[in-house]
Amino acid sequence: MSNCDDTNYKGVCAILGFEPEFVKMDFCDTAAVEQLFDSHKIDAVIHFAAFKAVGESVKEPLMYYKNNLGSFLNVLEAAKAHGTNVLFSSSATVYGEPDETPVTEKSPRKSATSPYGNTKQMCEDFLRDSVAAYGMHGIALRYFNPIGAHPSALIGELPRGVPNNLVPFITQTAIGKRECLSIFGNDYPTPDGTCLRDYIDIVDLAKAHVCAVRRMIDGLMDEPYEIFNIGTGRPVSVMELVTAFEKVNGLKLNYRIAPRRAGDVTAVWADPSLAESKLGWKASRTVEETLAAAWAWEKHLAAKAQ
Ligand code: UD1
């Protein structure tokens, strides 16, 4: 919880109508992780806990390696001891600047361009090797660009400080927290000159986890270690996203074209067909629905702050 408060936990409780057990602990604390596994019967772990800002990882690589790798090693040790299934939050960042789009799970991983990206690749390898050696089962989900919020507006993205990612920057500009959105580059070799990404709705993304956990605990896996792209298969440019946000929410966004951001890839989007055939999962929400939910969440935060 180094980058959040308990807003989202409270939102989860409100949506569920009960309070799921919540243990606040540091996953880099080996003894605490062992104790957690010893005191619960755990069928599967979904490991989300990691730092995720690309630029910050370049400035503080050791902080990223220590946290992202250390916490996952503890999870794997405990999972090994207890025969627990492990689902790892991986990222499209492992594909780097791909030679061909859309990318499939067989597309080559490129050398990581940031310590953050490196931790995603390394954790995938930790899981692959542990599964091979210890008779465990694991799935890595490679998320494309998760955006949006729960339609109830009770859970959503709440970055501390200035957001790095596009959609929270858009919603914070629209609400007046930020003066102007910078669109990083309009001279890319894409139809409108801005970068292409595969924006995946957060609720669709959450559902992919349910499917993946079921696959592991129901013994349906073809291989003990599997990888799935979790995206829509639909490339959307930064400009298209901004225009869609303005249209669906009936407002004008203050934006300007700025220089390219170091480290950005031109275009990456998923071939999600493996997830559809094996997990029975497919993204269903439109970009417009997702952007409406993101805006409802930002307004909910603003109303709460008053
Ligand atoms: C990056 C990582 C991804 C990681 C995600 C979460 C890479 C290649 N991708 O995605 O793995 O999971 O961050 O932090 O390392 N943009 C603007 N203005 C802004 C912000 C963004 O124009 O103020 C543009 C960017 O140039 C990019 C697009 O919007 O083209 C999406 O950016 P962002 O939301 O930061 O995600 P990625 O960089 O694609």
Strands 196-197 and 138-143 turn out to be: unpaired
User: Is 7-305 a domain of CATH 1.10.3080.10?
Assistant: no
pLDDT at 201 over 90: yes
164 ligand 1 Cβ < 6 A:
yes
Give residue-wise pLDDT tens across range 120-161.
999 999 999 999 999 999 999 999 999 999 999 999 988 788
Q: Ligand 1 centre and the CA of 1: distance in Å?
A: 22
Q: Output phi, psi for 13, to 5 deg.
A: -60, -40
If you take atom 30 of ligand 1, which residue's CA is the nearest one? 195
Rounded CA-CA distance 147/88 in Å is: 19
pLDDT at 215 over 90: yes
238 ligand 1 Cβ < 6 A:
yes
Q: At what angle do helices 287-305 and 238-249 cross, to 10 degrees?
A: 60
Q: What per-residue confidence (pLDDT) applies to 5? A: 86
Q: What per-residue confidence (pLDDT) applies to 305? A: 87
pLDDT at 306 over 90: no
* Residue 95, amino acid: Y
Looking from the CA of residue 120, the nearest atom of ligand 1 is: 11
Rounded CA-CA distance 102/280 in Å is: 20
Give residue-wise pLDDT tens across range 49-94.
999 988 899 999 999 999 999 999 999 999 999 999 999 999 999 9
If you take atom 27 of ligand 1, which residue's CA is the nearest one? 195
If you take atom 26 of ligand 1, which residue's CA is the nearest one? 184
Q: What per-residue confidence (pLDDT) applies to 252? A: 97
Structure tokens at 3: 């980058």
SS3 per residue for the chain = CCCCCCHHHHHHHHHHCCCCCCCCCCCCCHHHHHHHHHCCCCCEEEECCCCCCHHHHHHCHHHHHHHHHHHHHHHHHHHHHHCCEEEEEEEHHHHCCCCCCCECCCCCCCCCCCHHHHHHHHHHHHHHHHHHHHCCCEEEEEECEEECCCCCCCCCCCCCCCCCCHHHHHHHHHHCCCCCEEEECCCCCCCCCCCEECEEEHHHHHHHHHHHHHHHHCCCCCCCEEEEEECCCCCEEHHHHHHHHHHHHCCCCCEEEECCCCCCCCECCECCHHHHHHHCCCCCCCHHHHHHHHHHHHHHHHHHHC
Give residue-wise pLDDT tens across range 225-262.
999 999 999 999 999 999 999 999 999 999 999 999 98
Q: What per-residue confidence (pLDDT) applies to 180? A: 98
Q: Ligand 1, residues 54, 143, 239: which to mutate, most atoms within 8 A of Cβ?
A: 54
Q: 205: number of CA atoms within 13 Å, CB side? A: 25
Give residue-wise pLDDT tens across range 288-301.
999 999 999 999 99
Give residue-wise pLDDT tens across range 20-43.
999 999 999 999 999 999 999 999
Rounded CA-CA distance 30/47 in Å is: 15
CB atoms within 10 A of CB 137: 22
Structure tokens at 1: 């919880």
Residue range 176-186: mean pLDDT, rounded: 98
pLDDT at 113 over 90: no
Q: Output phi, psi for 103, to 5 deg.
A: -90, 140
Q: Output phi, psi for 32, to 5 deg.
A: -65, -40
Q: What per-residue confidence (pLDDT) applies to 2? A: 84
Domain ranges in the chain?
7-305
